[in-house]
Chain A
Amino acid sequence: MENKSMSYEYDLNLKATELRLALPGSDEPDEKQSVTCVRSNKRASSEISEESKSSSSVTIAGNGDSDAPPPAKAQVVGWPPIRSYRKNCLQGNKNEGEGVGRFMKVSMDGAPYLRKIDLRVYNSYSELLNALENMFKLTIGAYSERVGYHGSDYTPTYEDKDGDWMLVGDVPWEMFISSCKRLRIMKGSEARGLGCSL
């Protein structure tokens, strides 16, 4: 991520001298839960590193030095210590079924972390795409019904309630925000493939 190099001015810069096994460009190989693994039903995964996923619970893998007994896979009660009120406020309707909760995951091919946005804050595709461009520092290009996005390497796609991957912009806005489960900004030829297949 673009911020990382600047941030290590403050650090002791152990990173520069450290020998480690890691995929190039991934910053935190030791981290047990640094992940993004885009789950996609219909297409092959992108180049995002498929590091071991860990739930936010007590799962320790890899270099764990802990003496803890084999941890449960289930979420730990009351951890992290967030007040129930705050949890309910922000998670809200997550229990009502997959996805159409309040904050939408947005992943980008090649980025090690995903982001979250609140779709309700936007009123149109152009606002949403602007926000995505700012968030990921890229240009998305112009949309056309026939060939999808052109003019850049990036194509915004989304997974809908049926699990299908669609091009952002194909359906009317209102239908989009009520059916979108998560967003993925695809890069390169894969993206163009999706556009043409419609």
Chain B
Amino acid sequence: MESELKRFRNSPNSEELTRRSSFPDEVIERVLSLFKSHKDRSAVSLVCKDWYNAERWSRTHVFIGNCYSVSPEIVARRFPNIRSVTLKGKPRFSDFNLVPLNWGADIHAWLVVFADECPFLEELRLKRMTISDESLEFLSVSFPNFKSLSLLSCDGFSTNGLSAIATHCKNLIELDIQENGIDDRGGSWLSCFPESFTLLEVLNFANLTSDINFDVLERLVSRCKSLRVLKVNQSISLEQLPRLLVHAPQLTELGTGSFSQQLTFPQYEELESAFSSCNNIHTLSGLWDVKAIYLPALYSACTNLTFLNLSYAALQGGELAKLLRHCPRLQRLWVMDTVEDKGLEAVGLNCPLLEELRVFPLDPYDEEIAHGVTEAGFIAVSCFCPRLHYVLYFCRQMTNAAVATVVQNCPNFTHFRLCIMNPRQPDCTTGEPMDEAFGAVVKTCTKLQRLSVSGLLTDLTFEYIGKYAKNLETLSVAFAGSSDWGMQCVLEGCPKLRKLEIRDCPFGNKALLSGLEKYESMRSLWMSACNVTMNGCRLLARVMPRLNVEVMKEDGSDDSQADKVYVYRSVAGPRRDAPPSVQTL
């Protein structure tokens, strides 16, 4: 072995690398197994045939950003030893009801192939996929080593499917059910974990609404000594919470249940005492119906908190301020806009290490608008949190000057998602378009990877994006732009663009067809309620055979209009499971 290595190092000729005899496969595989990032692995696999083979045998985790870009057969054939699969399905706008039901992204075909070719599969992480109870049952019996199931924004299943998982997966360590369209038929699934089962490390059922049997949960928590993540649902009361916490002081992530039951003083003390023995919590969420007077009970557990998710807790600004005084190490904070600018000022003052802020609207659809947050709160946070690099901000008013100030204070934004909730709303002090705001963002934040724009925007915004956003990978656009030129600027100017999603913009065929080759270097393009026609889409499909061009029509729309267009590259060819509402061109 040593002589082999010396020869490799001393060799002046790089062709030595490609010769089979110079470097044993096992060594390459061993080295490559240390590469974790799928981008690195993809790069490695392109070096030469030997490295491609070594890489594929040593690959244990596969990330597939678009389930239709490749077929399960191709994946299983190329990576026979995979243990973990992450799959994303529907276009992101399906989260907002823009994608027809039964669109697709069903996991079942994948499971069938994997059961055959990769029966040692241990982990499945799905986002925006459809998964039925039958599929969950199939999963639970087909993979004896199955350990981790994570479902985010998925649909098609009920709690019966969870029962199957709990019953059959003897090696389960993670069950993570997040924000799904689940048919909640009751809490009996929890009782399906055998009394002898002790391996659970992650349990997240915060999404479910039904009551569960508390005694069953308490016993489960007490016997799973490795449990580190526990996120319960609203049916768990404040009185019950301490009884869980005392069994799991090792928890690192906690999602509480309801936080508003009326407690007696002894009960409050018990709650406070339980939290004080939880020294390892770095992530806290839940706090449904939060009653602010009980928040002090958790102060002692907040010292090491790095992620606080209050996005379902309607706190007022003053209440948030009091809580944040105890969270000096906070890096990520999600809140509701009930905290208003005053709450955001408190964020700035108390959380200097903040890196990520998300502000969600309590009631975005109401005619009589509650105040929420404004440009003032945004500026306040930026003034005192120089490390801020991720923001998601829902607001009802913004100014160009404020955004310019924010990015001047925080030039390191990688994710800038600003949602001014009234479409096409101009700068609220000058009445001008918000072009200069996003111009400032792309000019200043050179590391920007993800951008969501809103407000009144002309093509100028997109000229700026095309000219300056050289690291941009994901762009979301709604109710913006003046002409095809805007979209063209982006397609021609952003070399790293992978995902482009557009709705309700005046971009038509000219814009669509200006990106022909570009789409092959991207994961996907979504355009809905724009000016694209069927003919434009047909032309695109004809010229670019390696792209799937799918059109969804609305009821009663003009035959020639392409209401919703989804374009994506694929090595699997056009899909065969599209419903009648989806036409592949």
Contacts and interface: CB of A to CB of B under 8 A. Distances in A.
Nearest to A113: B371
B515 to A, nearest CB: 23
Nearest to A120: B289
Nearest to B405: A10
B371 A10 contact: no
B579 interface: no
B290 interface: yes
Contacts of B179: 83, 85-86
A82 B380 CA distance: 25
B424 A85 contact: no
Contact of B431 (A34, A63, A80): A63
Contacts of A57: 423
A188 B374 CA distance: 30
Contacts of B318: 134
Contacts of A78: 93, 96-98, 503
A149 B65 CA distance: 61
Interface string A157-197: 00000000000000000000000000000000000000000
B289 A84 contact: no
Contact of B290 (A90, A114, A115, A121): A121
A79 B93 CA distance: 10
Nearest to A68: B424
B111 interface: no
Interface stretch (B55-63, B338-346, B543-551): B338-346
Contacts of A123: 262
B401 A56 contact: no
A10 B367 contact: no
Given A30-B431, A90-B362, A116-B338, A14 B401 contact: yes
How many A residues are at the interface, by size bracket? 35 or more
B289 A121 contact: yes
Contacts of B383: 10
A69 to B, nearest CB: 10
A144 interface: no
B211 to A, nearest CB: 16
A3 interface: yes
Interface in B328-369: 338, 340-342, 360-369
B316 A135 contact: yes
A100 interface: no
A96 B185 CA distance: 20
Given A53-B367, A66-B424, A85 B430 contact: no
Nearest to B294: A121
A103 interface: yes
A91 B370 contact: no
B428 A105 contact: no
Nearest to B365: A56
Interface in B419-473: 419, 421-426, 428-433, 456
Nearest to A1: B371
Interface string B292-319: 0000000000000000000110101010
A31 B482 CA distance: 22
B33 interface: no
A145 interface: no
Contacts of B419: 80-81
Contact of B369 (A12, A35, A135): A35
Interface string B392-411: 00101101011001000000
A10 B96 CA distance: 35
B479 interface: yes
Interface string A59-87: 01001111110000001111111111110
A155 interface: no
B285 interface: no
Given A18-B429, A30-B431, A81-B96, A116 B314 contact: yes
Contact of B368 (A3, A10, A37): A37
B199 interface: no
Q: Which of B97, B179, B429 has the most CB of A within 10 A?
A: B429
A118 interface: yes
B379 A56 contact: no
Interface in A10-40: 10-12, 14-15, 18, 28, 30-37
Nearest to B380: A10
How many B residues are at the interface, by size bracket? 35 or more
Given A1-B371, A81-B96, A65 B456 contact: yes
B363 A116 contact: yes
Contact of B402 (A11, A86, A105, A122): A11
A103 to B, nearest CB: 7
Contacts of B364: 56, 80, 82
A178 B456 CA distance: 42
B401 A90 contact: no
Contacts of B176: none
B424 A58 contact: yes
B198 to A, nearest CB: 31
Contacts of A12: 401
A70 to B, nearest CB: 13
Q: Which of A10, A60, A114, A135 has the most CB of B within 10 A?
A: A10
A64 B423 CA distance: 11
Contacts of B380: 7, 10
B399 to A, nearest CB: 8
A14 B400 CA distance: 12
A32 to B, nearest CB: 6
Nearest to B209: A89
A66 B360 CA distance: 26
A152 interface: no
A74 B374 CA distance: 25
Q: Which of B370, B380, B504 has the most CB of A within 10 A?
A: B370
B532 to A, nearest CB: 17
Interface in B269-283: none
Given A79-B423, A113-B371, A56 B366 contact: yes
Interface in B96-135: 96-98
Given A30-B429, A32-B425, A55-B367, 6 more contacts: A1-B371, A14-B401, A37-B368, A54-B367, A84-B95, A86-B311
Interface of B: 93, 95-98, 153, 179-181, 207, 260, 262, 289-291, 311-312, 314, 316, 318, 338, 340-342, 360-371, 374-377, 379-380, 383, 394, 396-397, 399, 401-402, 405, 419, 421-426, 428-433, 456, 476, 478-479, 482, 503-504
20 contacts: A8-B376, A10-B402, A11-B399, A12-B401, A28-B428, A30-B429, A34-B369, A36-B368, A54-B422, A56-B369, A65-B431, A65-B456, A66-B456, A77-B97, A79-B96, A79-B479, A86-B360, A107-B368, A113-B371, A114-B368
7 smallest A-B Cβ distances: which pairs? Answer: A7-B376, A78-B96, A113-B371, A85-B179, A10-B379, A66-B424, A80-B364
